[in-house]
Amino acid sequence: MNRRHFSKILASLALSGTSNIDSTILKEKITIIGGGILGLSIGYQLSKAGAEVTLIEKDFLGSHASGSSFSWINASYDKTPLSYNTLAQLGIRAYHQLQKELNLDIKWGGSLEWFKSEKNSKRLINNVRLLQSYQDPLAIQIINHDQASELEHFANFQHSQTIAYSIHEGAMNTVSTIKKFSEGIKNNGGKIIFPAEFKELVYKGNTLNSIKTSVGEIKTNQVIFACGTNTDNILNSKMMRPSTPGIILRTKPIKPIINRVIVAPGIHIHQQNNGRLIIGEQRGPGIQHDERLIKKPKKFPNRDFEKMHQNRILTIAKEIIPELNNLEVEKTTIGWRPLPKDGKPIVGPIQKLPGVYLTVMHSGISLAGIMGQLVKEEILEARTNKLLEDFRPSRFT
């Protein structure tokens, strides 16, 4: 896919709507498994288009990766090749539209990223050059310490002369966004049920008829799985790598101090519109924690252990933003990342399971906005979208 093809896709998406949707399809019942931001975005778009939507979640909305995310909306870091980067660019555009539509709490302003080592800095330069070939070259560029300091007065850029500035990126308040999507689904006539755990698909011949859940049977003609780290367990598949944990700190509100997403060595930080800082670590846990992490805990074993990790992360954060004094941590979460084997999104029908559609990706926050629209079009218009051809589940079979 070249940039000219990308421009044509943008134009076609801008003109797309529900005009081609078959009214008989709208009468069908669609069930979404998973109450993270991806499932909720898809449910919102389907219900807005007139489909009869039921979304179920085994715990509560945002209880897994979405609710413990750093919430960075980006089209830079690790978003290659072009087909993947195109989705990420469209994701940013989709969120601008959704922000107007649902009054989403998203803070735009770009991101600043750098590394300490010369090797990683060279890799960053090469990555930026590649990304510039995908999109507007001015959208991402290399700037130096002095230029970055003009953008973020309180940040310590550690005298780096190789800082990637991605102008169009931002970060969302994920808790608020999840609430807005869920309200949208309900306002459009959809149902959201939790706690409700998926158990089994029920077919009549080769036609999906219903699903069995922990709260009873639900009649449905189409199921969309958006269940993140639980994908392989539910579908008995081998498409995912073992998920990895990430610790996120959310502080109590402080005065405005950060305008952009800062991705620094060992730490990443952004400040929400409400004044809260969201701080995440970049490196994973050491091997000494392997045994404790086998069961994928979402909480620390005790308050002392939690405090130890908080202090460690805050110490690194203060090296980057020295003004961060007397911070009060409001919440600490352990999130488990969904990781497809090849690092790319998995989106599309499961060929051996009629009526089943899968969506799972590591970059759920960045891509949920556009995925809602693309999945809606594929299901309700019964057509395939070239944007998704590199990401089908069939590549793992």
Mean predicted lDDT score pLDDT of the chain: 92
Residues of the chain with pLDDT > 70: what percent? 90
CA nearest to 36, candidates 210, 287, 224, 188: 224
pTM for the full predicted model? 0.93
CATH topology of domain 3-70+175-240+341-396: FAD/NAD(P)-binding domain (3.50.50)
Residue 301 or 375, more confident: 375
Residue 157 predicted with pLDDT over 70: yes
Kindly report, residue by residue over 75-126, the tens digit of the pLDDT.
997 799 999 999 999 999 999 999 999 999 999 999 999 999 999 999 999 9
Residue 352 predicted with pLDDT over 90: yes
Q: Residue 208 in contact with residue 201, Cβ under 8 Å? A: yes
CATH 3.30.9.10 domain span(s) along the chain: 108-168+241-336
Kindly report, residue by residue over 316-330, the tens digit of the pLDDT.
999 999 999 889 999
What's the pLDDT score for residue 272?
98
Residue 171 or 5, more confident: 171
What's the pLDDT score for residue 300?
87
Residue 193 predicted with pLDDT over 80: yes
What's the pLDDT score for residue 290?
53
What's the pLDDT score for residue 17?
47
Name the pLDDT band for 334 (thresholds 50, 70, 90): very high
CATH 3.50.50.60 domain span(s) along the chain: 3-70+175-240+341-396
What's the pLDDT score for residue 14?
43
Residue 5 predicted with pLDDT over 90: no
Name the pLDDT band for 23 (thresholds 50, 70, 90): low
Average pLDDT (15-29) is 56
What's the pLDDT score for residue 291?
55
Kindly report, residue by residue over 259-315, the tens digit of the pLDDT.
999 999 999 999 999 999 999 997 655 555 555 566 688 888 899 989 999 999 999
Residues of the chain with pLDDT > 90: what percent? 84
**108-168+241-336: CATH, from 1.10.290.10, 3.30.9.10, 3.30.470.20, 1.10.8.60:** 3.30.9.10
Residue 51 or 138, more confident: 51
77-86, 228-237, 257-266, 343-352 — which is least confidently predicted?
A: 77-86
